[in-house]
Amino acid sequence: MSLPEGFAIRRASTADLETLIEHRRAMFQDMGYSDEAAMQAMSEKFRGWLLEHMNAGDYLAWLATAPDGSTAAGTGLWLMDWPPHMIGRGRRGNILNVYTSANFRRRGLARALMQAALDWCKQNGIDTIILHASPSGRSLYESLGFAATNEMRLRL
């Protein structure tokens, strides 16, 4: 899959922290979360978590830049320690924070970012990748080979 002319994908660094935080916030807003106080609290907590995990090397991110140099989209990959299991050989990749700014959607940027993360996983021995799909993202992930699993959730 090629990018539209003038767009590029690059690895994010801690210098991109605020962009990554804003993408996470905007992603949740697009999914219908509207409690501003909760969003602010989440963003503040995420800032510390993100910095820690990027510095530790277990959170990687990629950004798509537009021809004008602005950031159009991004995705993250959290490398999770996983106990021995019948599925996979070790660490799992958890794709999260997939976001494309509204004015850049439907151009293949999310697909290209996902492919960059999946390629990194292949090159680095990560053979099991998980994610939580929003309704609008499900068809993209299915087209890349992701399948629904049996995960359940309990909030205490």
CATH number at residue 39: 3.40.630.30
Q: In total, how many domains does the chain have? A: 1
Question: Is position 120 within any domain?
Answer: yes
Question: Is position 2 within any domain?
Answer: no
- What pLDDT sits at residue 47? 98
Q: Give the pairing type, strands 92-100 and 59-65.
A: unpaired
- C-alpha closest to that of 98 among 156, 146, 48, 151: 146
Question: Is position 95 within any domain?
Answer: yes
- What pLDDT sits at residue 44? 97
Question: Is position 150 within any domain?
Answer: no
pTM: 0.93
Question: Is position 1 within any domain?
Answer: no
Question: Is position 110 within any domain?
Answer: yes
Question: Is position 33 within any domain?
Answer: yes
- What pLDDT sits at residue 153? 78
Residue 92 is part of which domain span? 8-143
- What pLDDT sits at residue 1? 60
Question: Is position 18 within any domain?
Answer: yes
Contacts of range 30-34, beta carbons closer than 8 Å, 24 or more positions apart: 30/99, 30/134, 30/136, 31/134
- What pLDDT sits at residue 111? 97
In tens digits, what is the pLDDT along the chain, a chain of 156 residues? 689 999 999 999 999 999 999 999 999 999 999 999 999 999 999 999 999 999 999 999 999 999 999 999 999 999 998 877 777 678 999 999 999 999 999 999 999 999 999 999 999 999 999 999 988 899 999 999 999 888 877 788
Virtual torsion, Cα 109, 61, 132, 1, nearest 10 deg = 30
